[in-house]
Amino acid sequence: MQRDLRLDDVGRRYGLRGPWVLRGVHLTVPPGTLTRIEGSNGTGKSTLLRLLAGIDAPTEGRITGRPRTAYVPERFPTALPFTALGYLTHLGKIHGLSHSAAKRAAGEWLDRFGAALYARTPMAQLSKGSSQKVAIVQALLAEPELLVLDEAWTGLDTDARAELERAVAERTADGTAVVFVDHDPRRLAGAPGATYTVRDAGLELRGERPSAESDGPRVSVVVQGPKGGQLPAEATRAALSAEEPTPGTHRLTVPASHSDILLRALLTARPPWHVVSVRPLPNPDPESH
Ligand SMILES: Nc1ncnc2c1ncn2[C@@H]1O[C@H](COP(=O)(O)OP(=O)(O)OP(=O)(O)O)[C@@H](O)[C@H]1O
């Protein structure tokens, strides 16, 4: 994603005389950011995500800077005459892959989400959880610059939920913007980004670092690097805080969902950094916030 996606004075209502579901919305989504959208039921979260995903158009206002976008809708249509693998291979080809590359990528993603067993199951026969995995894989296969996730974790098993958090962290580290809605306030808590609340048809910025230091699981990573060495930029971005207690030794605090990214950045740096310890931190007392 090269530039910001911008919503300028955007409004949406359904029907000529319907009430404004959204009005006067200004939102900027920069590359590589993670944005959470929250709000009570029926306030317009999905409407906003559909506008961001580009599958719906605003009634008024402008949306500019649209990047290559993928979307996981709240309800994924499964009544399609394909097997899971056939459908994903087809989509991979639409995204420019050869047949064999599309099939391989689709198979790898299904495997990563624990759905390889269902690769040859007709879509219409998939369980809710498995079809949700197909919905997620179709979005990730597209290697989007903007990924829009509407309750994408719903219906997933524990491993797949963690895998989706990892995939989101990987994508944001690679410059993809991710915008998501999830009913669980702890989802991706502590990951960098902003949280907006949809209320009274408008959008309120709740915080630049949603529940960051407050309630997300965090990990402390101690590393040693070359004398006077700068931490890799990717590692600094993933970290919530960094200190250098003794010269050359750095202690980083990172959301647990981003620890893989941090470690990869440190270990693949040239020269690589030495990871001294990785330990989970106790969750801070929510009462203290
Ligand atoms: N296609 C549509 N046609 C008419 N009204 C719609 C349509 N989609 C949404 N609405 C209305 O717009 C309002 C906002 O709906 P939306 O689904 O965007 O909210 P939401 O915050 O995502 O809700 P939930 O938390 O229940 O998923 C609701 O009153 C809904 O009935």
Report ipTM for this prediction: 0.98
Q: How much is the average pLDDT of 145-171?
A: 95
pLDDT of residue 245: 87
What distance in angstroms lies between residue 227's CA and the mean position of ligand 1's atoms?
56
> Please, what's the b/e burial string for 103-126 (b: 16 or more CB within 10 A of its CB; e: otherwise)?
bebbbebbebbbbeebbebebeeb
Ligand 1 binding residues, C-beta < 6 A: 14, 21, 39, 41-47
Query: Amino acid identity, residue 231?
Result: L
Residue of 16, 17, 20, 21 best suited for mutating to test ligand 1, as the one with most atoms within 8 Å of CB: 21
Q: How much is the average pLDDT of 182-191?
A: 84
What distance in angstroms lies between residue 75's CA and the mean position of ligand 1's atoms?
13
pLDDT of residue 38: 94
| Residue 60 CB neighbour total at 10 angstroms | 13
User: Are the C-beta atoms of residues 114 and 160 closer than 8 Å to each other?
Assistant: yes
Residue 278 has pLDDT above 80, yes or no: yes
What distance in angstroms lies between residue 74's CA and the mean position of ligand 1's atoms?
11
- Give the pLDDT band of residue 124 (cuts 50, 70, 90): very high
Of residues 62, 59, 55, 117, the one with CA closest to residue 85: 117
Give the tens place of pLDDT for each residue, 35-50. Answer: 999 999 999 999 999 9
Residue of 14, 20, 51, 153 best suited for mutating to test ligand 1, as the one with most atoms within 8 Å of CB: 14
* Phi, psi values for residue 96, rounded to 5°: 100, 5
- The encoded tokens of residue 254 equal 């990172």
List domains and CATH numbers for the chain.
217-282 (3.30.70)
First-residue to last-residue Cα distance in the chain: 35
Report how far residue 110's alpha carbon sits from residue 113's, in angstroms, rounded to the nearest whole number. 5
Residue of 38, 46, 49, 74 best suited for mutating to test ligand 1, as the one with most atoms within 8 Å of CB: 46
Report how far residue 120's alpha carbon sits from residue 265's, in angstroms, rounded to the nearest whole number. 36
Q: Indicate which residue's Cα is closest to atom 10 of ligand 1.
A: 14
Mean pLDDT, the chain, integer: 88
Report how far residue 131's alpha carbon sits from residue 129's, in angstroms, rounded to the nearest whole number. 6
- Give the pLDDT band of residue 259 (cuts 50, 70, 90): confident
Q: Indicate which residue's Cα is closest to atom 6 of ligand 1.
A: 14
